[in-house]
Amino acid sequence: MISMQFEKQFIEQLAEQLSDRVAELAIEKMKDRLNNNLPYLMTRTQTMEFLQCGSTVMAELMARPDFPVFDEAGKKVHTKKLLAWVDSKTRGPQAEPRLQKQLGIV
């Protein structure tokens, strides 16, 4: 049996490089999913489906001044701004700003 020993510093550097690469690949996959599955602007119905809410809640959200509604082409919701809005309204830890930037939601 062959036995190899590595210095702790080498193992830590390798682990850090691997975790960085895994994070990059995960971000690329998330970007692809967002870009391929969601339109730039969503209709009221699409937004309701995305948020899994009913028409009453959707009407309340669309009336809020901080909700990302685009009025120039009928009432549409800007998808990337919606994701950032949801993140800003979520209790608990927020998505890391660097991650938001990499995903293109800020």
What pLDDT, on a 0 to 100 scale, did the predictor assign at position 6? 78
Q: Which of 68, 14, 20 is nearest to 44 (CA)?
A: 68
List C-alpha distances in Å: 12 to 3, 18, 45.
19, 10, 49
Q: Mention every residue, 6+ apart, whose C-beta is less than 8 A from residue 88.
A: 94
Query: Can you give the residue ranges of every domain in the chain?
Result: 8-37, 39-106
98 versus 9: the higher-pLDDT residue is: 9
How many CB atoms neighbour CB 42 within 10 A? 20
Residue 63 has pLDDT above 90, yes or no: yes
Tens digits of residue pLDDT in 18-59: 877 777 777 676 666 666 678 899 999 999 999 999 999 999
